[in-house]
Amino acid sequence: MDFPEAREALVDAGQRLAARRLVTGTSGNLSVRVGDRIVTTPSGVPLDSLDPAWLSLIDLDGTHLSGAVPTSEVPLHLALYRNTGAGAIAHTHAAVSTAVSCTCDELPALHYNVLQLGGPPRTARYATFGSEQLGENVVQALRGGRTAALMQNHGSVSVGHDLGQACDRLELLEWLCELHVEAHRLGTPRVLSAAELADAERAFEDYRKRLKPGR
């Protein structure tokens, strides 16, 4: 992906998340890695109002190279790029995910689609927004192959090889949180066992093999 493509992808992703009501006002931020550079959303601009010319360019040390002032969450994005091998990152304050982040340390596996996020999403411990500590806490929450996490009393975040995948994962996390809330409203949810999740993982693997060309 080149820089013009990265900028267009950020604009499209911002509109997508806003259309799905996962962002409010100027909350939330996105970024894409292009080689040893990162294109990020600017500070103080709603994600549904992005213009390619406004987007910020920084290096892997966080130095601002061009464009508008970058998001205040640059330390979070840098920590994730350094530790996860991500190609893109999405972070929002989606209402249900944020609510659930205030109540649990790990989202229970009520549905096998937690496997699409590498396992039941964990909640990163609270730290002030924009701090290096917040980035470190989220890295810890993603250990072991997780690709999305809740951020205690803050929001949600996901990584992906591109913005499409990062947004897919963020939307799935919000859906899982909605399921969590609704299930608890109806009664005491039944959580999938480790054996049931292992069976589902094998089924996913078989399904992926059958989707490969030539099979």
127-162 residue pLDDT tens: 999 999 999 999 999 999 999 999 999 999 999 999
Percent residues over pLDDT 90 in the chain: 93
For helices 3-19 and 163-186, angle between their N-to-C axes, nearest 10 degrees: 20
Dist CA 168 CA 10 (whole Å): 14
Dist CA 156 CA 147 (whole Å): 11
Are the C-beta atoms of residues 172 and 94 closer than 8 Å to each other?
Answer: no
42-52 residue pLDDT tens: 999 999 999 99
CATH classification of the domain holding 89: 3.40.225.10
Span 21-27, mean pLDDT? Answer: 93
Give the active site residue among 8, 73, 106, 182: 73
213, pLDDT greater than 80: no
Could you confirm whether 73 is annotated as catalytic?
yes
Number of domains in the chain: 1
Span 111-137, mean pLDDT? Answer: 98
State the pTM of this model. 0.94
Span 106-133, mean pLDDT? Answer: 98
The parent domain of residue 25 ranges over 3-211
Span 72-90, mean pLDDT? Answer: 97
Mean pLDDT of the chain: 96
Range name among 53-57, 110-114, 206-210 with the lowest pLDDT average? 206-210
Output the pLDDT for position 208.
Answer: 84
Dist CA 105 CA 87 (whole Å): 26
Q: Which of 58, 59, 19, 18 is nearest to 42 (CA)?
A: 58
H helices of the chain, where? 3-19, 74-84, 95-101, 132-141, 163-186, 194-211
82, pLDDT greater than 70: yes
Output the pLDDT for position 215.
Answer: 52
